[in-house]
Amino acid sequence: MKRIRALHLFPLCLLFLAACHHDSKPVGHEFIGKWVNIESPSDSVVIAPDGNKFVITDGIHALVATYDDGALTPNNGKGKCSYLKVTDTMDCGGVTYKRAS
């Protein structure tokens, strides 16, 4: 009897885990969107997901970036982009961006 009960609970547990995982946000979600340079508002970038990578565009150029250890690393070898949750800003290569509203 206990074995039958355990067999019924296993699919229920799998369903619960799948439902919880479905509601989770994708890795790097905090970077997605339009960002405006705080010091130069005419400078903006858009970050969009592309499979397991991200594309950073400024309207002219596009860089592919990978997400690693909480930061985006562009393929141009010029630093990383770090998200600062407290201020909802992003630092990319020494330039601070705020999320566009």
- Whether 47 shows a pLDDT value over 80: the answer reads yes
Kind of pairing, strands 81-84 and 62-68? unpaired
Q: What pLDDT is attached to residue 77? A: 80
Residue whose C-alpha is closest to residue 56's, from 29, 83, 74: 74
Q: Phi, psi at residue 59, to the nearest 5°?
A: 95, -25
Mean per-residue pLDDT of the chain: 82
pTM: 0.74
Q: Which of 93, 96, 94 is nearest to 84 (CA)?
A: 96
Which pLDDT value is given to residue 93? 87
